Copies of this chain bind each other. A is one copy, B any other.
Amino acid sequence: MTDITRIEPTHRLSRLVVHNGVAYMTGVTAQDGTLDIQGQTRQVLEKIDGHLAKAGIDKTRMLSVQIWLKDIERDFAGMNEVWDAWVPKGAGPARATGESKLAHPDLLVEILVTAAV
Identify the A interface with B (CB < 8 A).
1-2, 4, 6, 9-17, 19-22, 24-27, 61-66, 68, 72-73, 76, 80, 83-84, 87, 89-103, 105, 110, 112, 114, 116-117
> Please, which residues of chain B bring their CB within 8 A of the CB of A24?
63-64, 93-94, 114
Contacts beyond the supplied A9-B91, A11-B84: 17 A-B pairs with Cβ under 8 Å: A2-B116, A6-B90, A12-B92, A13-B93, A13-B94, A17-B62, A17-B63, A17-B94, A19-B21, A20-B22, A24-B114, A27-B97, A27-B98, A68-B98, A72-B102, A97-B103, A99-B102
**Known contacts A2-B21, A22-B20: A102-B98 contact under CB 8 Å:** yes
> Please, which residues of chain B bring their CB within 8 A of the CB of A2?
21, 116
**Known contacts A13-B87, A73-B105: A4-B97 contact under CB 8 Å:** no
Report the 7 A-B pairs with minimum CB-CB distance, sorted nearest first: A27-B96, A98-B100, A99-B101, A24-B64, A13-B95, A24-B94, A13-B92
Closest chain-B Cβ to A40's Cβ sits at a distance in Å of 15
